[in-house]
Amino acid sequence: MELKPGLSALVTGGASGIGKALSLALARKGLFVTIVDFAEEKGKEVACLVEKENSGFHEKLEFHSAIFVKCDVTNPRDITLAFEKHVATFGGLDICINSAGIGNPVPFKDDQTDGTKTWRHTINVNLVAVIDCTRLAIKTMQAQQRPGVIINVGSSAGLYPLLLGPVYSASKGGVIMFTRSLTPYKRQGIRVNVLCPEFVRTEMGEKMDPKLISLMGGFVPMEMVVKGAFELITDESRAGSCLWITNRRGLEYWPTPAEEAKYTVRSSSSSRNDMISFQAPLGFQLPHNFKKLVVHTLSFHFRDSTHIINAPLKLPLESDQVLLKVIYAGVNAGD
């Protein structure tokens, strides 16, 4: 998707951190932006900054080029209203960035509560809300029948363990696998990708142990995160992609080829090098049965020498087999 004036984006967690940076970066491209956050004062400030950034692209507008919606992302009704207000204001949704996230306020080993205000809340904000927002974004994009991009903000802590924050790590791991499982929506023109940076200098990042930050190569520059997000938005080939961002290695897609090789499978008749990724075909459900053409008599008359039977579909397919999907289309000659 080309980032150009007139497109619109909804950004959760847009009042601070990565969400704020992405909101302003999109504004510099002339996009309309809805800032969704629980922090009202900061959110309104960012909305004003967004309007200043994109003011040069839009003259004599009859509406604001940026709006703020106060929202608790763990409240389904709040989220639904935020999406509805965005569409009512800007006429559609092109980009959704789910950036709202929190750390665990109490170390897991010290938490003696039922987790309602601690680890359960972390899961609800970091994972459940992302699923809910993604669901609503997809629904909105399907209704308008035009392409859309969804960027979920994960974390490198979802790719490998964060020993100091197991619940945070679990929540981000969930975001990553959820996003990677949404590849089939590309067939509908909707691409969902996930950003996985290491520590960025945000309010949450500043709370981490400086020694750990140093070991990881320092804070990842916000500019690198923005660059990664724009790459996922503009590269039409990217769907279900996970972009890992570190100071040590730069931008790199995960899994790496070495990691991907660990979970690929091959059919019994294929060679060792003829491997396939364990991934369902996109866009349709495989049938339980298929129609098989059987030749029962050698004859020049094809119809007389063959018949069709229903046979159970056994997976994986053999190397000499191919599965065809027949689609019938009608044409109205009067059109």
Inter-residue contact 185 to 192 (CB < 8 Å): yes
Q: How does DSSP assign 211-250, residue by residue?
A: HHHHHTTSPBPHHHHHHHHHHHHH-TT-SS-EEEEETTTE
Active site residue 168: yes
What value, to the nearest 5°, has the Cα angle with vertex 250 and ends 249 and 254? 80
160, 168, 185, 253: the catalytic one is 168
Q: How does DSSP assign 45-98, residue by residue?
A: HHHHHHHHHHGGG--S-SS-SEEEEE--TT-HHHHHHHHHHHHHHHSS-SEEEE
Inter-residue contact 192 to 176 (CB < 8 Å): no
Of the candidates 307, 285, 310, 311, the one whose C-alpha atom is nearest the C-alpha of residue 296 is: 307
Inter-residue contact 73 to 18 (CB < 8 Å): no
Of the candidates 187, 180, 158, the one whose C-alpha atom is nearest the C-alpha of residue 242 is: 180
CA dist., res. 37 & res. 72, Å (int): 7
CA dist., res. 128 & res. 112, Å (int): 23
Structure tokens at 58: 């839009």
Catalytic residue positions, numbered: 168
